[in-house]
Structure 1
Amino acid sequence: MADAPLLVGYWRSSAAYRVRIAVNLKGLTPRHAAVHLRKGEQRGADHLGLNPSGLVPVWQEEGFSLAQSLAIIEYLDETWPEPPILPAAPRDRAVAREIALTVACDIHPLGNLRVLDKLTADWGAGAPARAAWNRHWIGIGFAAIEARLAHSAGRYAVGDAPSLADICLVPQVYNARRFELDLTPYPLIRAVDEAARAHPAFAAAAPEAQADAE
């Protein structure tokens, strides 16, 4: 019998956090392995053999390895289609993708650890400057998402069921709090985040609930 799939991540990686939420929503029980990003384990030969980009998460099955959180989530949704991660209506699906991509493409890359480390290495950015950098870019992205939620949100970001939008938004709100962004201007984001984090799949995926949490 083949081993259960393996999810390689790091407790505080928001990209890995997304995949943990999706896995939990699907009711899957993969094995978990941690790569310590702060210690640079992602640059070791073993991890680069799984993902040449040197990032997490990585989803591994027998004879198959996949990186990039949104690619992994799409694969999970196509392989285990129930419950669906995207809404039924085409326009709602498009909006869920829009919110997810605003996080994954516009906000998250600018706050990635290797970007922050480059700011420090080349321009001497210390912890306060790194935090201010993150607050700036998260705030710009959240303003756009808040405006979208005014037309799409129900209990969750798009209607009344959790979707890809929430899977991406909740980890980014975690990052916003970590970098002390004032969330007062984003009441809809705060409401969606509160509702989603009360869902068992989101609660079990939270960084502080992970075995490698520090």
Structure 2
Amino acid sequence: MKLIGYFRSSAAFRVRIALNLKDITVEHAFRHLRRGEQSTPDYAALNPQKLVPALVLDSGEVLTQSLAILEYLEETHPEPPLLPKDPVGRARVRALALIPTADIHPIQNLRVMTYLRERCGQSEEAAFAWSRHWIETGFAAYEASVANDRRTGAFSHGDQPTMADLCLVPQIFNAGRFKVDMAKYPTLKRLFDTCMKHPAFDAAQPARQPDAEP
């Protein structure tokens, strides 16, 4: 398998963590998003959305969208599990995962920021304020969802990493670029610190990728 990503992509970061947790070895390839390499004809033929990540299977099939890739990895490599066994627990983990992946990331990612600046005439400061607002709104919801829930353990759900943690951690990394005050979200900060002590999360962080830049 080959994973096509970008070191700073939150979506690719999620998949890297899953691959590490499940001890799956893949070839890594890169598309530099700020240089527009995701829009070249050869990559657009693989992924018409012109986004990363894309997972190219040994069969030649191409999987896109990080959550779909995570579900595929869970189904084909079930150990260690990213989802609880019980249906209610699985629903809770998926709901938590959707806060960063559906309610935060899509409206404050690179292409949205670029559109705000170039097409809507917003300053860099205004575009950052937009992103910070949606990150903080989502983090407040996540914090309220896990802070006093008995199902929250060392990780977002229980004492083993789940899909929720794979989606939360990259968004917290992203939040650092927008100077979000994580002191307002003590449970999220605790979960993040726990995750980053895990080798699978640490090895997947942006600074440790071959294409990393300052």
Question: TM > 0.5 between the two?
Answer: yes
Q: How do residues 25-44 of structure 1 correspond to structure 2 at under 5 angstroms?
A: 25-44=21-40
Match of 1:15 in 2: 11
Unaligned 5+ segments in structure 1 are: none
Task: Quote the residue 1:83 is aligned against.
Answer: 80
Partner residue, 2:164: 165
C-alpha distance in 1 between matches for 2:80 and 2:56: 22
What one-letter code is carried by the residue in structure 2 that aligns with 1:204? A
TM-score (norm 1): 0.96
Deviations 1:39-69 (A, max 9, x none): 0000001110110000000000132101000
Q: How does 1:65-144 map to 2 (within 5 A)?
A: 65-144=62-141
Partner of 1:123, secondary structure, is: coil
SS at 1:153 equivalent: coil
SS, match of residue 66 in structure 1: strand
- For structure 2, the 5+ residue unaligned runs are none
2:44 aligns with one of 48, 66, 76: 48
RMSD value over aligned CA atoms? 0.9
- Percentage identity across aligned positions? 52
Q: Name 2:173's counterpart in structure 1.
A: 174
Aligned twin of 1:198: 197
Corresponding letter in the other structure for 2:124: A
The SS at the match of 2:119 is: helix
C-alpha displacement at 1:123, in angstroms? 2.0
Compute the displacement of 1:137 (Å): 0.1
> Which TM-score applies when normalising by structure 2?
0.96
**Secondary structure at 2:3 match in 1:** strand
Give the Cα separation in 2 of the matches to 1:93 and 1:148.
15
Summarize the alignment of residues 144-163 of structure 1 with structure 2, pairs less than 5 Å apart: 144-150=141-147, 151=149, 152-163=151-162
The one-letter amino acid paired with 2:50 is: G
Taking the aligned partners of 1:177 and 1:6, their CA distance within structure 2 comes to 29
The CA distance in 2 between the partners of 1:131 and 1:7, in whole Å, is: 29
Shift of residue 27, structure 1, vs aligned partner: 0.2
